[in-house]
Amino acid sequence: MSESYDVIIIGSGIGGVAAGALLAHSGYKTLILEKNRLVGGRCSSYEKDGFIVDLGVHLFGVGDKGSLGDICRSVGMPNAIDWVTVDQPILQVGNKTEKYSRANMMGTVPEEESGNLGRLFMEIVQISEEEIESLWYVPLKDWISRFTTHPQVHLFFNMICGQYFCVGSAEASTTEFIRCFREVLTAKSSAYPRGGCVSIPKAYLAAVEKYGGRCITRAPVKKVIVDNNAAAGVRLEDGTEFRAPLIVANADIKSTVSDLVGEEHFPSDYVDRVKALTWSLHVIGLKVALNEKITDHQLVLYRPHGDGDGSDIEDKFYQAKLPDRVGGMITAPTNYDPSLAPPGHQMIFFGTACPAKADWKKWERVLLNSFYSVYPDAKGKVLWHRLDTPGIINAFAGETGNVIGVAQTVNQIHQLRPSVVSPLKGLYFASGEAGGHGIGTELAADSARELFRVLTKK
């Protein structure tokens, strides 16, 4: 006899464990199955030589004040994640370092442009809900061009857009951008969790267990069992079966439809639509372990030079025309939580957008060069460095190792986004690939909240 549950969740990424926590708290007998030894999917962390190293994520847009914190509050565990708010982000362009602030950003454009940029900021803050709703399918770049065509302004918004959604401003949805930008601006609570990124899925799993659910790791699901045209259970690679009337896929939507379930169980137009979905771009992460602390900065946004409008970034993504230095987001997790490294040591991450496949040896040289441009004092203090490439992320969490999931582009946003409800009875999604709103992990957590509202009609 196979074990029975109310709900089985395939995958322990943020969307999966968030859905698990909410449903277990509501009385659903919940089982989460994770193929890996480690939980968390792209929001996981691993140990290396006494350092806790995050696989992907480095920063959480609105920290406790957004979906990630709401989940803890909803399950009666408001303090389950111990957030450390970002103190003062730094903007470094070339060798010039200053606070990352609106005033400093305004100072980088010529005087005759500052009026346009001011109007643009004002519009983002004051635009009515009705007007925001009319901009879902307008590319951000086009909307910004209504205010200014100045390359410097486009460069900054392209950079922010890349950090939020890992797509360029020529494709990103204006509404999704404005909503996220306003949330980050008003919440002022971008943060990082003590214990490293994996402490977020672990907090949700603690809720799953507290309310009687369980998670099994090293349990790859091979097949979703379909009985009488409805999802009814799952079969693992080792043949073990579990039954439930509700199956939630946190695993990649494309392979769920084509491999785990089988295309024959879906209408053909749905299969075509899922096949045509595109992922967000990829990020390569240089992780540097140092034998002493070299910086107090928690977060640095780096650009090697101030020229151009950011379209060179897209050339870099697509054509791999690598310059000798690249810009990116640099974080020092040990400046939020020193216990993530042996005493007195430091861990620094340098993340930047990259193609899915490339000559990673070249990228390694360029990333190290860029890292030392920002931190020349690191010379002679590096214990080791490693690259987490899209290939590594793909092996861990699938989806070609992209950053977000289904890209938040104008043709895949809002009503054009896959729904958390699939056309197959009993099969649902909770991940960065269906429904939801927000930045990265917050999008996946919001997808779980959306699914919870659908299932419980709350």
400 near ligand FAD, judged by CB under 6 A: no
Contact between 422 and 266 (Cβ < 8 Å): yes
Smaller CB separation from ligand FAD, 178 or 219: 219
Structure tokens at 351: 């993340």
Contact between 406 and 273 (Cβ < 8 Å): no
Least distance between ligand FAD and beta carbon 402 (Å): 7
Smaller CB separation from ligand FAD, 42 or 150: 42
217 near ligand FAD, judged by CB under 6 A: no
The DSSP secondary-structure symbol of 418 reads P
Closest C-alpha among 284, 308, 282, 297 to residue 366 = 284
CB-based contacts of 62, cutoff 8 Å, min separation 6: 183, 184, 187, 189, 190, 438, 439, 442
34 near ligand FAD, judged by CB under 6 A: yes
Considering only residues 401 through 440, tell me which ones interact with ligand FAD, judged by CB under 6 A: 403-405, 431-432, 439-440
Smaller CB separation from ligand FAD, 158 or 352: 352
Smaller CB separation from ligand FAD, 261 or 341: 261
CB-based contacts of 228, cutoff 8 Å, min separation 6: none
The DSSP secondary-structure symbol of 139 reads B
Least distance between ligand FAD and beta carbon 146 (Å): 29
How far, in whole angstroms, is CA 266 from its chain's centroid? 28
43 near ligand FAD, judged by CB under 6 A: yes
190 near ligand FAD, judged by CB under 6 A: no
Residue nearest to ligand FAD (CB): 13
d(Cα 99, Cα 253) in Å, to the nearest integer? 40
The burial of 213, by beta-carbon neighbours within 10 Å (0-12 exposed, 13-18 middle, 19 or more buried), is given as buried
57 near ligand FAD, judged by CB under 6 A: yes
Considering only residues 82 through 101, tell me which ones interact with ligand FAD, judged by CB under 6 A: none
Which range touches ligand FAD (CB under 6 A), out of 4-12, 177-185, 271-279, 337-345? 4-12
291 near ligand FAD, judged by CB under 6 A: no
The DSSP secondary-structure symbol of 256 reads I
Rg (CA), the chain: 22
d(Cα 393, Cα 173) in Å, to the nearest integer? 26
Among 25, 42, 287, 297, binds ligand FAD (CB under 6 A): 42
Contact between 248 and 429 (Cβ < 8 Å): yes
Per 3-state DSSP, the chain is made up of helix, strand and coil in percentages (nearest 5) of: 40, 25, 35
The DSSP secondary-structure symbol of 34 reads -
Least distance between ligand FAD and beta carbon 283 (Å): 4
Considering only residues 335 through 394, tell me which ones interact with ligand FAD, judged by CB under 6 A: 351, 393
14 near ligand FAD, judged by CB under 6 A: yes
d(Cα 63, Cα 21) in Å, to the nearest integer? 18
The burial of 272, by beta-carbon neighbours within 10 Å (0-12 exposed, 13-18 middle, 19 or more buried), is given as exposed
Least distance between ligand FAD and beta carbon 9 (Å): 9
Among 22, 25, 30, 41, binds ligand FAD (CB under 6 A): 41
250 near ligand FAD, judged by CB under 6 A: yes
10 near ligand FAD, judged by CB under 6 A: yes
189 near ligand FAD, judged by CB under 6 A: no
Smaller CB separation from ligand FAD, 144 or 221: 221
Among 31, 51, 58, 64, binds ligand FAD (CB under 6 A): 58
Among 20, 56, 63, 304, binds ligand FAD (CB under 6 A): 56
441 near ligand FAD, judged by CB under 6 A: yes
Site string for ligand FAD, 146-185 (x = CB under 6 A): ----------------------------------------
Between the alpha carbon of residue 440 and those of residues 56, 57, 230, 352, the distances in Å are 11, 8, 31, 15
Closest C-alpha among 130, 224, 140 to residue 181 = 140
Structure tokens at 300: 């640095």
333 near ligand FAD, judged by CB under 6 A: no
Q: Any idea which residue has 């709703």 for tokens?
A: 133
Among 7, 11, 261, 266, binds ligand FAD (CB under 6 A): 11
Please report, as ranges, the residues that interact with ligand FAD according to CB under 6 A: 10-16, 33-36, 41-43, 56-60, 220-221, 250-251, 283, 285, 351, 393, 397-398, 403-405, 431-432, 439-442, 444
